[in-house]
Amino acid sequence: MLCWTSWVLVRAIEELRGGQVIQGLTRTYLPPYQHALGWVIDPRTTSLSAELIARYGQGIRPIDDEPWQKTLRRIGFRLGQFKKGDPLVEPSLLVHQNREIPDLWIGRFGLKYVLFRQSIGVLTIDELPAYSSAIRLEGLERSR
């Protein structure tokens, strides 16, 4: 009976843990997890450049290791800088002094912020990480 209980427990943990990788029709889905910044709701290891193309560059071919600035130009964004104190309304890139790659601010979800960070994926966070400037993405209709 002890053996059975142990076996069922191990099996249940294996079957129910959120660790399964799901091969979807359009891409691979990784399980969500808690990160120091917040809850990673849609983990992915893609670059910012690839993410920008996936969201805003329909029909544009991704290029490996392309700098994100070039990607923005290829997509056709006009980049509008704005002050740090201004409220974030449109999708924006949050540039950090100590990080080479900015975060993509996607929007708000209730009281939380929704953010894409390169190599981590989409997170929901309570407070935005400190950033030095923000680049508003203008000039394209948000298709996604």
Partner 1 sequence: MSSLVKEFGRTTRERWALATLAGIFNGIGFVYFGPMSLIANVPLLCALRYSPSYFESGLLAGWVGFLGGVHIYGIINYGWFLLLGFSLYTASQMVIYGLLFRWLWRGRGGLLDILVVAAIWTVSEWIRTLGPVCMPASYVGNIADVSWLRPWLVLTAWIGGIGVSSFVALVQSLTFHGLISFRHSQKSIVFMTAFLLVFGAVGVTQFSAESGGQTVKIAGVQAGLANSQYHAATADPAAQDGIIRTFETLTRRAYEGHPDFVIWPETAIRGDVLRDTALHSRLFPGNRDRSILLAGLIEQDKQGKRFNVVASVLPGGQVDDIYRKVRLVPGTESHLTPGHSVRAMRAGSNYVGVMICLESVYPDMARRLVATGAEFLVIASNDAGFGFSPITRHMTNRAMVRAMETRRWLIRVGQAGISAVISPNGVVTERLGLFKPGLIEGQIQLRQNQTLFVRFGDWWMVLIFGIIGVGAWSVRSKSVVKSAV
Residues at the site binding partner 1, with contacts judged by CB under 8 A: 1, 4, 8, 12, 14-18, 20, 22-27, 29, 31-32, 41-42, 54-55, 106-107, 109, 112, 114, 122, 124, 142, 144
Residue 11 beta carbon to partner 1: minimum distance, rounded to whole angstroms: 9
CB of 2 to partner 1, least distance (A): 11
CA 39, CA 122: separation in Å to the nearest integer?
9
- Alpha-carbon dihedral sign for residues 93, 88, 54, 44: positive
**DSSP string for residues in 29-53:** EPPPEE-SSSEEEEE----HHHHHH
Q: What backbone phi and psi angles, to 5 degrees, belong to 62?
A: -70, 145
Shortest reach from residue 66's CB to partner 1, in Å: 19
Pairing assessment for the beta strands 78-82 and 92-95 based on DSSP bridges: unpaired
CB 1 → partner 1: shortest distance, Å? 6
Which lies closer to partner 1 via its Cβ, residue 17 or residue 61?
17
Residues 6 or more apart in contact with residue 95 via CB below 8 angstroms: 102, 131, 132, 133, 134, 135
